[in-house]
């Protein structure tokens, strides 16, 4: 890469030291010679500057973040594209944030106390409120995108895949973007995202902070996405105060209308709970940001509630600098506790509801896995009221289902397979021939869909579709004259300090990735997941060789005293 220590960008930004290297680029410490301040420079890798999809994402990160001014959002000061040493460069000039990403803190501590968790969630909600007020949905809230300064201030980063209602859409209907472990159910199904989608991701983050493990994990991105859609989260540890438990459970509701409608409402609820009060009743409206820029309003059932005005000033987090949580998770929570008799009655009711829900989910799983005995090859179609899996899939009165392989060319075959099975088709797979690859006339990643037989419908329910899949990455010979169907998958970035990846040593399979594909849609199954009396999750163990998350990581520079300088995501 053309950037190195001592080089300058735009005759103004002098590179002084490397911070980190990731899958999409590099982050450097630099000095703004005009203003005399330390900044961070995020440089897109040269191999991606020729790919329009990566450039658009990079430009969007600059434009979206620069449009926001909030103490809980890492600032972007400038953006530029230039040619240096014969290479085309695209770079962001960003706020230099001293601190650590939340994922690293969780790896070090295992889990946080209730007070620490609420402080993180409140500040993150404040930052999101500024984005939501500006008509943006972040779509990739996760511990790796939250930075915590030494004084406890939390900063949101990486608005690269944020959705703005006044911008041209970057993805077609049904495409999923985000990180599988933190996707909302509607994101996992390719539905329209809302501010409540970010609230769900905050709920997942809050669960991970206070339980020490993620609520949903699996062996593949598809398995994780299906869990987000269909499965209630496991019970939180028994030592979690009931108010905090109720707060996180509401944020994790499968139905967006049952959650807090946006970051401001969530932050207000966090502060009410932190003050010892109950979770506020649903009183606000959920705004759906449509592809056409219009807003559709869903009115949830209202009830009595207390309104708390959220503060826009950042809150500090002294508890994060104290000792780690004890093995039993004990904390100094002082919130009012519910009457034990009421708690027992409530838990019995939730347990009964949980048993009923498990039965329904099990029945649904049985239907999906039944048929010819192949889990991925056949399934009953979604029940009444289930939305179709993509805008192009529809069922006629005669039962025929519309299908066009053009909607799936270039997408990951495993995800397409899951989606088509969810629509009621039987799916087979074979390697694409050389002729089929040439006819595609686009660059294709390994395991990408090339074509299908039949190529289009309408098709009868249960019809067999044979997907032709690229056995390895393919690029047309005259690559300059054809359009690429999808961006290349960047390699997982190497941890900057040798022992921490994006997961920060979290005890989970190495499946975390930023998803950019289409998965099965099904109707939401639970609006407020119940808490059962099952034992809490075991405390996590910290791995010395954690898996890296691709393609977004947070850059961290540790000094000799153990502090870290962290800037954004690659």
Please report the beta strands in 282-335, taking only residues with DSSP state E, as ranges in sequence order: 286-289, 295-298
pTM summary value: 0.54
CATH number at 17 reads 3.30.200.20
Please report the beta strands in 37-86, taking only residues with DSSP state E, as ranges in sequence order: 37-44, 76-84
Quickly list DSSP for 232-288.
PPPPPPTTS-HHHHHHHHHHT-SSGGGS-SSHHHHHHHHHHHHTT-PPPP--SPEEE
CATH number at 104 reads 1.10.510.10
Where among 42, 75, 96 does a domain terminate? 96
**Residue 368: inside a domain:** no
Residue with tokens 């797979």: 429
279 in the same domain as 144:
yes
Q: What is the pLDDT along the chain (570 residues), one digit of tens a residue?
A: 578 899 999 999 999 999 877 667 788 999 999 999 999 998 988 778 877 778 887 888 788 888 888 999 999 999 999 887 778 889 999 899 988 899 999 999 999 999 999 999 999 999 999 999 988 898 889 998 899 999 999 999 887 665 555 444 444 444 455 688 999 999 888 888 899 999 999 999 999 999 999 999 888 888 998 999 999 999 999 999 999 999 999 999 999 999 999 999 999 999 999 999 999 876 544 444 433 333 333 333 333 333 333 334 444 444 464 444 544 444 445 454 444 444 544 454 445 454 444 444 443 433 233 333 333 333 333 333 333 333 333 444 456 788 888 888 888 887 777 777 767 788 899 999 999 998 887 888 888 899 999 998 889 878 899 999 999 988 877 544 434 444 333 333 333 333 333 443 354 444 444 444 444 344 444 444 444 444 444 444 444 444 444 343 333 333 332 333 434 443
Residues 251-268: tens digit of each pLDDT: 999 999 999 999 999 999
User: pLDDT at position 460, please?
Assistant: 87
Q: Please tell me the total count of domains within the chain.
A: 3
Catalytic entry in 51, 78, 133, 140: 140
**Dihedral, 10, 16, 21, 25 alpha carbons, nearest 10:** 0
37 in the same domain as 156:
no
47 in the same domain as 182:
no
Residues 512, 492 contacting (CB under 8 angstroms): no
Domain of 438?
388-474
**Residue 490: inside a domain:** no
**Residue 513: inside a domain:** no
d(CA 173, CA 510): 28
Where among 43, 62, 96 does a domain terminate? 96
d(CA 175, CA 207): 26
Residue 140 bears catalytic tag? yes
Residues 491-528: tens digit of each pLDDT: 333 333 333 334 433 544 444 444 444 443 444 444 44
Token pair recorded at residue 265? 């409402």
460 in the same domain as 402:
yes
Where among 47, 71, 96 does a domain terminate? 96
């Amino acid at each position: 890469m053309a950037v190195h220590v001592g080089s300058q960008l735009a005759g103004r930004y002098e590179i002084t030291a490397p911070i980190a290297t990731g899958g999409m680029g590099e982050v450097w410490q630099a000095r703004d010679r005009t203003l005399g301040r330390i900044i961070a420079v995020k440089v897109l890798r040269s191999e991606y500057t020729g790919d329009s999809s990566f450039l658009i994402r990079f430009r969007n990160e600059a434009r979206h973040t620069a449009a926001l001014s909030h103490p809980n959002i890492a600032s972007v000061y400038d953006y530029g594209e230039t040619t240096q040493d014969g290479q085309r460069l695209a770079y962001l000039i960003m706020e230099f944030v001293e601190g650590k990403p939340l994922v690293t803190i969780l790896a070090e501590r295992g889990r946080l106390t209730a007070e620490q968790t609420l402080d993180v969630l409140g500040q993150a909600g404040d930052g999101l409120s500024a984005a939501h007020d500006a008509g943006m949905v972040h779509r990739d809230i996760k511990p790796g995108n939250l930075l915590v300064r030494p004084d406890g201030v939390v900063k949101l980063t990486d608005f690269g895949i944020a959705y703005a209602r006044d911008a041209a859409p970057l993805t077609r209907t049904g495409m999923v973007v985000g990180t599988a472990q933190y996707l909302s159910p509607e994101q996992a199904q390719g539905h329209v995202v809302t501010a409540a989608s970010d609230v769900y991701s905050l709920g997942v983050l809050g669960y991970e902070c206070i339980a020490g493990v993620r609520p949903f994990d699996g062996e593949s991105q598809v398995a994780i996405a299906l869990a987000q859609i269909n499965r209630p989260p496991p019970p939180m540890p028994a030592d979690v105060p009931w108010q905090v438990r109720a707060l996180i459970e509401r944020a994790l509701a499968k139905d967006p209308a049952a959650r807090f409608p946006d970051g401001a409402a969530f932050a207000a609820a966090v502060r009410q709970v932190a003050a010892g009060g109950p979770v506020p009743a649903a009183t606000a409206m959920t705004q759906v940001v449509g592809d056409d820029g219009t807003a559709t309003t869903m009115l949830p059932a209202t009830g009595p509630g207390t309104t708390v005005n959220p503060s826009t000033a950042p809150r500090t987090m002294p508890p994060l600098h104290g000792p780690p949580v004890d093995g039993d998770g004990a904390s100094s929570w002082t919130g009012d506790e519910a009457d034990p008799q009421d708690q027992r009655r409530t838990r019995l009711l939730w347990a009964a509801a949980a048993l009923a829900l498990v039965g329904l989910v099990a029945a649904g799983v049985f239907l999906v896995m039944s048929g010819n005995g192949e889990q991925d090859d056949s399934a009953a179609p979604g029940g009444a009221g289930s939305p179709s899996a993509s805008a192009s899939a529809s069922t006629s009165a005669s039962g025929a289902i519309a299908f066009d392989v053009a909607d799936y060319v270039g997408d990951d075959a495993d995800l397409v397979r899951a989606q088509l099975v969810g629509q009621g088709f039987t799916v087979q797979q074979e390697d694409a021939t050389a002729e089929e690859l040439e006819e595609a006339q686009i660059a294709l990643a390994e395991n990408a869909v090339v074509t299908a037989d039949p190529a289009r419908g309408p098709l009868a329910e249960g019809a067999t579709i044979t997907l032709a899949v690229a056995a390895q990455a393919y690029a047309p010979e005259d690559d300059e004259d054809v359009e690429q169907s999808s961006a290349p998958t960047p390699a997982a970035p190497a941890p900057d300090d040798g022992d921490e990846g994006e997961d920060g040593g979290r005890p989970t399979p190495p499946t975390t990735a930023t998803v950019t594909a289409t998965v099965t849609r099904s109707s939401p199954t639970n609006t407020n997941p119940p808490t059962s009396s099952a034992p809490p999750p075991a405390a996590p163990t910290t791995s010395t060789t954690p898996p890296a998350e691709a393609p977004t990581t947070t850059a961290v520079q540790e000094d000799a005293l153990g502090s870290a300088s962290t800037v954004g995501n690659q």
